Amino acid sequence: MKNRKGFCFINILLQISLILLLLSFGFIYFKKLIEREELIRAKTEIYEVFTTYGIKAHNSRTNYEVKLDYLKKNITISQMSVIDKEIIHLPQNLKYITIFDKQTQEKFNAKITSHGNITPSFSIYIFDYNDIAQYRISFYGFDLIKYMQINVYRNINDTTPKYNTILNFHNKWTTTNPKWKEE
């Protein structure tokens, strides 16, 4: 009878440990799923804000100012620096940084001209929960064609672009980097 009680106790411990193991794997999977969704949402919102207001500026011949504030995690679009047209809230758990003039910027102002162009040209990096850059969105304004170009690059398997060292990574950036893919 004593052997049977020990066997039941071990059986219960095994079942509890198996359930806890499955729950921990489920939690890790769920956290990664949320992180991936937030990264895609941030990339899409940033891209769509600039393309939408670039088209609106071109059609209505109006200038827009875009204020990027990564401390508050929002993007504010205003008309003639006075009237706030729209405020976009970015996912709070991610980090963002703008690179302009070989410096990192946590607050940055850009202007969408009446031709739909952008001034100045700059890049935005979006970082995951581990502070590794997962997206690079580059904005280029061309006076000749008077319209902005946006290039989006996704990190395939590069662990070197960290939040604290992104400036060094940016200065060595090439579009032929095999660890990054243009979307």
pLDDT tens-digit profile of 72-129? 999 999 987 677 788 999 999 999 999 998 899 999 999 998 888 898 999 999 999 9
Domain boundaries, the chain: 40-182
Which amino acid is located at 15 in the chain? Q
pTM: 0.85
The 3-state DSSP class for residue 155 equals strand
Fold of 40-182: minor pseudopilin epsh fold (3.55.40)
pLDDT at 1 > cutoff 60: no
Find the helix or strand (DSSP H, E) in which 154 lies: strand 147-155
Strands 74-79 and 133-142: unpaired
Alpha helices in the chain (DSSP H): 2-60, 166-171
Alpha helices in 61-178 (DSSP H): 166-171
* Per-residue tokens: 164: 């604290």
pLDDT for residue 76:
93
